[in-house]
Amino acid sequence: MLSILWVLFYKYTNVSVTPMMVIRKLQSKNEYVIKHQWVPLSKISKALQLAVICSEDQRFISHHGFDKKAIEKAMAEHKLGKRLRGASTISQQTAKNIFLWPQRSWIRKGLETYFTFLIETFWSKKRILEVYLNSIEMGDRIYGAEAAAKFWFNTSANALNKDEAAAIAAILPNPIRFLANPPSGYIQKRKEWIKTQMRNYGTLVLKKE
């Protein structure tokens, strides 16, 4: 019951701090100043919204929290001897970032599944994307789209163009290691791939509450 109330609370309340922020601060040996500013989804460019969907979860609009096709593909590749890659959806990442701790374990994965089900039940896709884009790590001590836009490109989240949005989306798998600006050769390739996916995806339409 408390977990449901927690999820309902964040349906209407902006997320000011996440477990990841707290853990990073506790782990830091030096002063840890977080850059984070919540903005509504309407103030985050459509380019960034589309870029992260194309990068992280292209079936975000249609699935109910879990991408069965992505999971099956990851498992098939693993059986062929390839490294097991993540198949977490934006909904799963949001559940983990807001309600849980980052370290991998079967317990955390089980709770992640539970909270993913809850947010898919009680939140709209629009709200899930809004919370996701305002809470994920987008650089060292950088959390959320507004802080990332200012840090990487000296602009607002609302003003990000397609190239800038793709650059930020490209570093999401490891935002501590990679730079959105200037990008390494690897990030540049990822950025161009994301831009191609954005062109192929078409117009992003999120249902209202």
Q: Which range marks the domain in which residue 144 is found?
A: 140-209
Tell me: do 86 and 124 sit in the same domain.
yes
Q: Rounded to a whole number, what is the distance in angstroms from the first to the last CA of the chain?
A: 23
Decide: helix, strand or coil at residue 6: helix
Q: Which distant-in-sequence residues (6+ apart) come within 8 Å of 54 by Cβ?
A: 169, 194, 197, 198, 201
Tell me: do 147 and 106 sit in the same domain.
no
- Contact status, residue 171 vs residue 138, Cβ threshold 8 Å: yes
Give the pTM: 0.90
**pLDDT tier at 78 (50, 70, 90 boundaries)?**
very low
- Contact status, residue 172 vs residue 138, Cβ threshold 8 Å: yes
Q: What is the pLDDT of residues 88-138, one digit of tens each?
A: 999 999 999 999 987 778 888 899 999 999 999 999 999 999 999 999 999
- Say how many residues make up the chain: 209
**What mean pLDDT do residues 126-155 have?**
98
Tell me: do 153 and 109 sit in the same domain.
no
Structural domain contains residue 23: no
Cα gap 53→56, rounded to integer Å: 5
Q: What is the pLDDT of residues 185-203, one digit of tens each?
A: 999 999 999 999 999 998 8
23 or 36, higher pLDDT: 36
Residue 94, domain CATH: 1.10.3810.10
Structural domain contains residue 194: yes
**In whole numbers, what is the pLDDT of the chain averaged over residues?**
90
Structural domain contains residue 187: yes
Give the residue from 135, 155, 177 where a domain finishes. Answer: 135
Structural domain contains residue 41: no
Structural domain contains residue 91: yes
**What mean pLDDT do residues 31-57 have?**
96
Tell me: do 121 and 185 sit in the same domain.
no
Give the residue from 114, 135, 156 where a domain finishes. Answer: 135
